[in-house]
Amino acid sequence: MKLQREVFIVGVGETVFGRRKEDYDALGREAAFKAIKDAKISRPDMIQSAYVGNAHNGIVTGQTIFKDLGMCGKTPIINVESACSAGAMAVHLAIKDVATGLTEISMGVGAENHTLRRQKGTAFTPAMNDIEAVHGGVMTGKYSMRATRYMYERGATIEDFAMITVKNRKHATHNPHALYRGEVSIEEVVNSRMIAYPMTLHQCCAISDGAGAVVVCSKEMVKKLGIEKPVKVAGSVVTSGPYHNGPRDITGDDITEMTTEMLYKESGVGPKEVNILELHDAFTIAELLYYECMQLCGKGEGLKFLRDGQSTYGGQCVVSPRGGMLAYGHPIGASGAAQIAANVKQLRGQCGGYQVEPIPKVAMSHVTGGGLSGTEHAACTMHMLVKGW
């Protein structure tokens, strides 16, 4: 999407992630209220459109979230479903409204509660018309195959994959919003329960509950609200996965490669200029693959990039400074919005205890959505943010 005018993020909010007793609507309101307050908005009905991403919590989720904020009847509220990409896609649509001049101020929210609505220990039911899923090609199985192929082609070991969990948990040590924080050893990760070789339990993100919210507005509204540190949206891209009817390279990810290329072109930012990155690290192998897909390093160089410490503090690009999904858990429809909120706080220098130094100038986020036979993923949403002051 080519932005027709400048769009800025002026308010963000997120909840603590984990097993929550509050349902998705309460979590969504908490994040939304924080974002509204952060944006210095005096009345919620100043927001001219709102989008809510959710995957598994039923119908009219947005209206359920916003009714107690006094926005129903005054604000068009649109519900967005695109599996894991839903929250980021909600933010994309809010950006689109402002970029096209439809609104001056809009909001995107992602919220989800699985604890109250899903039996513990059960997997998500695959679509019965998805031939890959019903024959065992569920997400864990797919990433297991990708990992074993990567081991064969690149010489990676299970200990290499474990390094990513160790890194991301360490990043989250002082992040109050993360579910898993602090030191974990490579041995602990490797020796945790095997899920699908070589993916052990600690190499798979937990399914958690939480919410994130983002308020976007025009340059004129930034001035009216008196925002001192607006974050500029340099690019916002949504794509759907290309269909394949034959063999494909599972050590790559065509939809991520395609979306990344579009985002770099739209934003005018190159891969070596990205200071921090929140990506879809649902499994350790995913992060390793995405280093190459996003051109942080060359094809076949992802393992060296990891081993050389280029994806942590002091490296070329700090990947998952908030701790990523491996530390936060993954409340499917909420993660994409929370990624963006976390990146905004890093650009503002508001992450005490886990702030990237020097304070980043450029932040990128990436989240894919859904499995679909014949594709790597059904959807992908990416954002590029830069300092706007």
Q: Catalytic residues, which ones?
A: 84
Quickly count: other Cβ atoms within 10 Å of residue 7's Cβ. 26
CB 11 within 8 A of CB 35: yes
- Beta bridge pairs of residue 319: 277
Number of other residues whose CB lies within 10 A of the CB of residue 245: 6
Which of 14, 40, 38 has the alpha carbon at shortest distance from 27? 14
SS3 per-residue string spanning the chain? CCCCCCEEEEEEEECCCECCCCCHHHHHHHHHHHHHHHCCCCCHHHCCEEEEECCCCCCCHHHHHHHHHCCCCCCCEEEECECECHHHHHHHHHHHHHHCCCCCEEEEEEEECCCCCCCCCCCCCCCCCCHHHHCCCCHHHHHHHHHHHHHHHHCCCHHHHHHHHHHHHHHCCCCCCCCCCCCCCHHHHHHCCEEECCEEHHHECCCCEEEEEEEEEEHHHHHHHCCCCCEEEEEEEEEECCCCCCCCCCCCCHHHHHHHHHHHHHHCCCHHHCCEEECCCCEHHHHHHHHHHCCCCCCCCHHHHHHCCCCCCCCCCEECCCCHHHHHCCCCCCHHHHHHHHHHHHHHCCCCCCCCCCCCCEEEEEEEECCCCCCCCCEEEEEEEEECC
